[in-house]
Amino acid sequence: MKLIHITDIHLTREGGTVLGSSPGKNFSECLEHILVHHGDADLCVVTGDLTHWGEPEAYAYLRDILSGFPIETRLLIGNHDDRPAFRAAFPGAPCDVNGFVQWSEPTRAGRFIYLDTNEPGTHAGHYGPDRQDWLRGELEANGGEACYLFMHHHPSPIGIRAMDDIGQADAQDLRSILFDYQDRIGHIFFGHCHLPLSGTVCGIPFAALRGTNHHGWQDFTGSPFLKGADLTPAYNVVLLENADCVIHTIDFNYRGPIAEFGTQFEDWTRESEAAV
Ligand SMILES: [Fe+2]
Ligand SMILES: [Fe+2]
């Protein structure tokens, strides 16, 4: 199964900018690149911060952009999103019985479980008892089946103070669920940090990546301020086969030359010899 993971597209109204960059243009270029190079993808998941201000016009813009994108796409909400505005723009979006934008579905690779960590009025992630009960139910319902989790916030601290100040506020509660079901969760995919990240949480591998509009910078000084830099945007291509997971990060706006090398031993000539 080929999965596309995109995160933090931060759309505004059409023509708007965020930190001097056009989120609509960047997201559209991302989708165009996917269609050219990975049009055979089975599914695309956008892990939240669909918009920057949660404006109804931004969700309408997102709907317009996606109307021409043929790959099935799943949309999660993040701290920059507005749940009622999202649901108004996407009335068919699945929700749990409490109205949170979270659901699950079977795929060829296993069950995909999409979480809603949005809490109005804060940039931190929240996953209260009602949402926790729902997640435990989903994990129990599929006894033994491989599951993959998708969420906006990082489920556990990443060691960057400002980012962790707006991380998962109830990380310990979430960790207890992850710990209980670590054997059946194959991977966790998230965004929010605008940083390329990989590692494990409660023994479960995770991956995150830069957004498509603006990018984080790793500041380990303990500063309370988030840092950003004008780096390359990316999307991830995730290959899920035979319970293995391989993740490629694609720098989709790279416009430079592509070098080519043979793979035979003698093809890797030393520079000095090649120049002779
Ligand atoms: Fe974001
Ligand atoms: Fe976020």
CA of 79 to the centre of ligand 2 (A): 5
Identify the pLDDT of residue 97.
Answer: 97
CA of 179 to the centre of ligand 1 (A): 27
Q: What type of residue sits at position 112?
A: F
Q: Is the dihedral of CA 231, 205, 33, 24 positive or negative?
A: negative
Identify the pLDDT of residue 86.
Answer: 98
Identify the pLDDT of residue 144.
Answer: 78
CA of 192 to the centre of ligand 2 (A): 4
Fold (topology level) of 2-254: Purple Acid Phosphatase; chain A, domain 2 (3.60.21)
- Considering all CA atoms of the chain, what is the largest pairwise distance in Å, rounded to the nearest integer? 71
Rounded Cα–Cα distance for residues 148 and 146 (Å): 7
Identify the pLDDT of residue 142.
Answer: 73
**DSSP single-letter state for residue 265:** G
Identify the pLDDT of residue 271.
Answer: 67
CA of 211 to the centre of ligand 1 (A): 7
CA of 51 to the centre of ligand 2 (A): 10
CA separation, residue 269 to residues 209, 242, 253 (Å):
35, 37, 30
Rounded Cα–Cα distance for residues 216 and 123 (Å): 15
Identify the pLDDT of residue 100.
Answer: 98
- Whose CA is closest to 117, among 152, 166, 148, 93? 152
Ligand nearest the Cα of residue 209 is 1
Global pTM value: 0.96
Ligand nearest the Cα of residue 51 is 1
Ligand nearest the Cα of residue 79 is 2
Terminal CA-to-CA distance of the chain, rounded, Å? 46
Query: Mean pLDDT for each consecutive 10-residue tract of the chain (276 residues)?
Result: 98 96 97 98 98 98 97 98 98 97 97 98 98 96 88 97 98 97 96 98 98 97 97 97 96 94 85 58
CA of 48 to the centre of ligand 1 (A): 7
- Take residue 246 and report the two structure tokens written for it: 């391989």
CA of 37 to the centre of ligand 1 (A): 25
Identify the pLDDT of residue 177.
Answer: 98
Query: Mutual orientation of helices 56-67 and 23-38 as an angle, nearest 10°?
Result: 20
